[in-house]
């Protein structure tokens, strides 16, 4: 199989590149990445037999060149940090909407066998803190930030190319990922790296906001299954799958869990104001992918949070140059 992976130098994308190369050593893998603040070539520098193209998905020329003769496009490339989307929304509109549209046009022109679009549960908005309601494939879109609105727009464009032009597509909406190579501005690595540096832990509000967490390799395995199922079974084409591990944690619980690893108490938490439009709770109902594709998460949150913390302890030279605060 010949794959083009957009955003393959970012957090989830680079984990996916390593996952795919390990599992399918004879497949052809090419990566295109703009190498923004969150995409680093060194994330996949030790992965053998891949080609890396430095380019912007908003520019048709490199996209057409690298997409030629590919079987599958796996689209990770996106601006993804909510706080940044509030301060510089233009970048999110350009990359997440216009960039995705350019990819879709090229995929159609090159007759790609499958275009898999990686999205987020944030497109569905916010759930009440109390209750058992979860997001599913039938949830109504209700984005609350420029980031989630731009991802919602890209989801709709991908579906439109399937419905209008017959482009073979699949979509996945995932819960919060954690694991190695995640930028230190994100919640878990920010807490961990602050503590390594002896700094207090910033926490919005009272840390009451809840997220559903999944280890990044579980996310990769789900995408793998969707891609191979889509290539074999036409019934999967055009389908959306929600991917989550049923690990709901408040931000305060996350902070306390990490503090325990460092033998520190709540006095190390520094409470800060909420961001604008801060969603209360995300939760994923992953019953469809379990039922249709027989996928299950493999990695427990507690064990792989510990492994993630150890990774950051062992890889200070990777993250220290990217840490802003």
β-bridge pairing 201-204 and 169-174: unpaired
Asked whether residue 241 is assigned to any structural domain, the reply reads: yes
Is the pLDDT at 88 greater than 90, yes or no? no
Is the pLDDT at 108 greater than 90, yes or no? yes
Between the CA of residue 122 and those of 83, 142, 158, what are the distances in Å?
Answer: 13, 8, 17
pLDDT of residue 90: 85
- Residue 202 CA to residue 193 CA, distance in Å, equals 12
60-67 helix and 100-109 helix, angle to the nearest 10 degrees: 40
DSSP conformation letters of 206-262 = TS--EEEEEEHHHHHHHHHHHHHHHHH-GGGTT-EEEE--S-EEEHHHHHHHHHHHT
- How many domains in the chain? 1
Asked whether residue 259 is assigned to any structural domain, the reply reads: no
Q: b vs e for 149-170, b when ≥16 Cβ sit within 10 Å of the residue's Cβ?
A: bbbbbbbebbbebbeeeebbbb
- Residue 177 CA to residue 14 CA, distance in Å, equals 13
Asked whether residue 171 is assigned to any structural domain, the reply reads: yes
Q: Summarize the confidence of residues 129-153 as an average pLDDT.
A: 94
Is the pLDDT at 317 greater than 80, yes or no? yes
Computed over every residue of the chain, the mean pLDDT equals 94
- CATH number for the domain that contains residue 120: 3.40.50.720
pLDDT of residue 83: 61
The reported pTM is: 0.96
Is the pLDDT at 247 greater than 80, yes or no? yes
pLDDT of residue 300: 95
Asked whether residue 203 is assigned to any structural domain, the reply reads: no
pLDDT bracket for residue 310 (50, 70, 90): very high
Asked whether residue 277 is assigned to any structural domain, the reply reads: no
pLDDT bracket for residue 85 (50, 70, 90): low
DSSP 8-state class, residue 86 = H
- Residue 238 CA to residue 158 CA, distance in Å, equals 9
Is the pLDDT at 100 greater than 70, yes or no? yes
**Tens of pLDDT, residues 33-78:** 999 877 899 999 999 999 999 999 998 888 999 999 999 999 999 8
For the annotated catalytic residues, the residue numbers are: 121-122, 147
Asked whether residue 44 is assigned to any structural domain, the reply reads: yes
Collapsed DSSP state (helix, strand, coil) of residue 73: strand
**Tens of pLDDT, residues 217-234:** 999 999 999 999 999 999
Asked whether residue 54 is assigned to any structural domain, the reply reads: yes
Asked whether residue 162 is assigned to any structural domain, the reply reads: yes
| Residues of the domain holding 60 | 2-183+212-247+282-301
């Amino acid at each position: 199989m010949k794959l083009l992976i957009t955003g393959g130098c970012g957090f989830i994308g680079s984990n996916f590149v390593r996952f795919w190369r390990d599992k399918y050593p004879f497949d052809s893998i090419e990566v295109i990445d703009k190498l923004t603040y969150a995409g680093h070539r060194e994330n996949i520098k030790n992965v053998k037999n891949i080609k890396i193209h430095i380019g912007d998905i908003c520019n048709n020329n490199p996209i057409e060149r690298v997409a030629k003769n590919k079987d599958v496009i796996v689209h990770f490339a996106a601006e993804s940090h909510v706080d940044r989307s509030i301060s510089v929304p233009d970048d999110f509109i350009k990359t997440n909407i216009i960039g995705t549209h350019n990819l879709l046009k090229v995929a159609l022109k090159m007759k790609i066998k499958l275009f898999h679009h990686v999205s987020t549960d944030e497109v569905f908005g916010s759930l009440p803190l109390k209750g058992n309601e979860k997001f599913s494939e039938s949830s109504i879109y209700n984005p609350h930030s420029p980031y989630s609105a731009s991802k919602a727009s890209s989801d709709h464009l991908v579906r439109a190319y399937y419905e209008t032009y017959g482009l073979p597509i699949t979509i996945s909406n995932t819960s919060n990922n954690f694991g190695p190579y995640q930028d230190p501005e994100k919640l878990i690595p920010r807490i961990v790296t602050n503590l390594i540096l002896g700094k207090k832990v910033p926490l919005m509000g009272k840390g009451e906001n809840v997220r559903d967490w999944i280890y990044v390799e579980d996310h990769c395995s789900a995408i793998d299954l969707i891609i191979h199922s889509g290539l074999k079974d036409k019934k999967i084409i055009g389908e959306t799958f929600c991917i989550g591990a049923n690990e709901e944690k408040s931000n305060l619980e996350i902070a306390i869990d990490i503090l325990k690893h460092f033998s520190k108490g709540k006095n190390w938490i520094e409470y800060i104001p909420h961001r604008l439009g801060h969603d209360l709770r995300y939760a994923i109902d992953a019953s469809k992918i379990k039922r249709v594709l027989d996928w299950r998460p493999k990695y427990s949150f507690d064990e792989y949070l510990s492994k993630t913390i150890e990774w950051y302890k062992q890889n200070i030279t990777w993250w220290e140059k990217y840490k802003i605060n």
